[in-house]
Each structure stands twice: as structure tokens, then as C-alpha cells.
Amino acid sequence: MVVSLRSKKLAKIFAEVWQRLPKKDRDFISRRAPLIVDNPIFLPKNHRPTWGAVICVRFRKEFLIVYLAPRLLPDQPDSFVRYVIAHELAHVRKRHVERLFSVAIKESIEARFEKEAREQARRWGFPRVPPKRTPKRTRKGGSYRKT
């Protein structure tokens, strides 16, 4: 597996999470998702996930890329970043991406996959943690509202 995280904080926390996973899960994930990145160039056009995503690539054979958002995650508390990383890895472990391609996508299925990923992350020791709230950005010189 290649971990190509430009953010030192993400790289450090990813290594912590990875070491805490059971060996059989690490082996499975590393076979299915050989690339961990924080570079948005790997994202499909017009797709900007908030915290992270698992992307399926099919070229001769199928493999997954785990993407972690480099602009938002480093500003969050370490416990939240650990949860997001474990959550995305849980999607790989639970084979959610492959299952999405095999069934008609319905909101209930996506919601079930999210719940399963949260539960797997919790079983690995990474409970759900809310993100830190950040203030809304305003334009220089005032707010967006016209007066």
C-alpha cells in the first residue's frame, strides 16, 4: 500500500489508526485499497467530499483509492481525524463500494452503509466524534449581505 499524504498531521494520524487495526483487516484493506491520498486530483469531476471518500478505479482490474480532505481535516481535532480515517477504511473493509455497483443506489442502502462503517470504526476503537465548528468565512471588507 502506498500512503501519499502531503499533510504531516494526516500522515501521522493515519499511521496511528493503521497500527491499531487488526492485522487481518490491514491485510484485506491493503489488497483492496493500495493508495491513500490527500490530493484532490484523484477525485471524479464535480465531486468534493467533505471529509473523505473511497473511490473505485477500474483499469484491467478494480482497486480502491482512499481520499482524505487536505484542507479541512488538518484543522479538526485529532480524535475526529482518527474517526474519519477509520470510517473510510471501514467502507473498504465492508466492501461497500463494490456493493454499491451491484445494486440500484437507494438512499436507504447508502444510509445503511454509513451506519455499518460507523459501527466498524467504533469496534476498532474509533468512536464517532463531531467535527469542530468553524466560523463562516466572509469577504474582505464586510459581509456578503448587501445593505
Q: CATH number, domain at 103? A: 3.30.2010
pLDDT in tens, 35-81: 999 988 888 887 777 899 998 887 778 889 999 999 899 999 999 99
Residue 29 falls inside a structural domain: yes
Q: Evaluate whether 89 touches 122 at the Cβ level (below 8 Å).
A: no
Compute the mean pLDDT over every residue in the chain, rounded to the nearest whole number. 85
Residues in contact with 119: Cβ distance below 8 Å, sequence separation at least 6, in sequence order: 90
- The rounded radius of gyration (Å) of the Cα atoms in the chain is 17
Total domains present in the chain = 1
Q: pTM of this prediction?
A: 0.77
Burial class (CB in 10 A: 0-12, 13-18, 19+), 66: buried
Residue 138 falls inside a structural domain: no
Residues in contact with 6: Cβ distance below 8 Å, sequence separation at least 6, in sequence order: 38, 39, 70
Residue 137 falls inside a structural domain: no
Residue 60 falls inside a structural domain: yes
pLDDT in tens, 73-106: 999 999 999 999 999 999 999 988 876 665 555 5
Residue 134 falls inside a structural domain: no
Residue 11 falls inside a structural domain: yes
Question: What domain range is 87 assigned to?
Answer: 2-123
